[in-house]
Amino acid sequence: MALAGAGGRLLRWPRVLLFGDSITEYSFQENGWGAYLAERLVRKCDVVNRGLSGYNTRWAKLILPRLITESTSADSIAAVTIFFGANDSALKELNPKQHVPLEEYAANLKSMVQYLKSVDITADRIILITPPPLQESAWEKACLAKGDKLNRCNATTGQYAQACVQVARECGTDVLDLWTLMQKNQDFSSYLSDGLHLSAKGNSFLAAQLWSRLENKLSALPSLLPYWRDVDHMNPEASLL
């Protein structure tokens, strides 16, 4: 038996795509910044987590065209966050697999933004996010526990953050400079769980900063189905199809 109203228009929610490394992948955990966005946008947008732990921009730029293609309706993408750099900025001599040179990192970010623009995702829908600061003593403990040496340093991460800000400026996109914002609080270690990844406080901080940039863009989007009290219970087809 066919469902009543099966001929109705297919419902498609706009998508917010979160593209990044482990800090994005973990963002749907309890109290994560991605989960915060999803909660704020429920019934308005699908928040899609495309975080890939350990990935850098060299690998990400190869994947992006497989996530958003020319056949993807530009209207269906409400916003895209690009959040890489924590792995690119790993020290080459100690972590050559993840390390990406600074100039290439900037070029890769620019390439990804240009690709999105080429498939009609406008600059005002793209937000670049810099890597957060690195708390070296905590991250060194995490490295030593795995039998490794400290393979990142905060000053280097800061160079990559500055490059990210510069790319955003050149490409006309918004940017969330976590590296700088988090260090306005002198003891930024409370934002990090292990010196590299975000703690609950860090997730909350990022969520608030990101929402302040997305709210004007997305909060005005309509709910695609009416509030239940507004459904005509005598003739639901009139309200829902």
| Model confidence pLDDT, tens digit, residues 78-96 | 999 999 999 999 999 999 9
Q: What range does the domain containing 131 cover?
A: 15-215
Q: Which sign does the torsion angle of CA 114, 174, 106, 202 carry?
A: negative
| pLDDT computed for residue 120 by the predictor | 92
CA distances to 89, 103, 185, 186, 225 from 190, rounded to whole Å, are 21, 31, 9, 10, 41
Taking residue 170's Cβ as centre, other Cβ atoms within 10 Å add up to 12
| pLDDT computed for residue 8 by the predictor | 63
| pLDDT computed for residue 20 by the predictor | 98
| pLDDT computed for residue 21 by the predictor | 97
| Model confidence pLDDT, tens digit, residues 34-89 | 999 999 999 899 999 999 999 999 999 999 999 998 777 667 899 999 999 999 99
47: left (phi over 0), alpha (psi -120 to 50) or beta: beta
Measured distance CA(126)–CA(124) in Å, rounded: 6
Q: Which sign does the torsion angle of CA 139, 137, 180, 188 carry?
A: positive
| pLDDT computed for residue 6 by the predictor | 52
Q: What CATH code is carried by the domain that includes residue 104?
A: 3.40.50.1110
| pLDDT computed for residue 2 by the predictor | 43
- How many domains is the chain built from? 1
- Identify the segments of the chain with pLDDT beneath 70: 1-8, 73-74, 185
Residue 228 lies in a domain: no
Residue 200 lies in a domain: yes
Phi, psi angles (nearest 5°) of residue 3? -65, 140
Q: Is the distance from CB of 163 to CB of 106 less than 8 angstroms?
A: yes
Measured distance CA(160)–CA(134) in Å, rounded: 12
Mean pLDDT of the chain: 91
Question: What residues are annotated to the active site?
Answer: 22, 194, 197
Residue 237 lies in a domain: no
Residue 103 lies in a domain: yes
Q: Which residues lie closer than 8 Å to 168 by C-beta, 6 or more apart?
A: 128, 174, 175
Residue 174 lies in a domain: yes
Q: Is the distance from CB of 58 to CB of 92 less than 8 angstroms?
A: no
| pLDDT computed for residue 1 by the predictor | 35
Residue 1 lies in a domain: no
| pLDDT computed for residue 7 by the predictor | 53
Residue in 155, 152, 133, 23 with CA at minimum distance from that of residue 81:
23
Residue 10 lies in a domain: no
Residue in 213, 86, 54 with CA at minimum distance from that of residue 157:
86
CA distances to 86, 159, 162, 196, 216 from 21, rounded to whole Å, are 8, 18, 18, 12, 26
Residue 224 lies in a domain: no
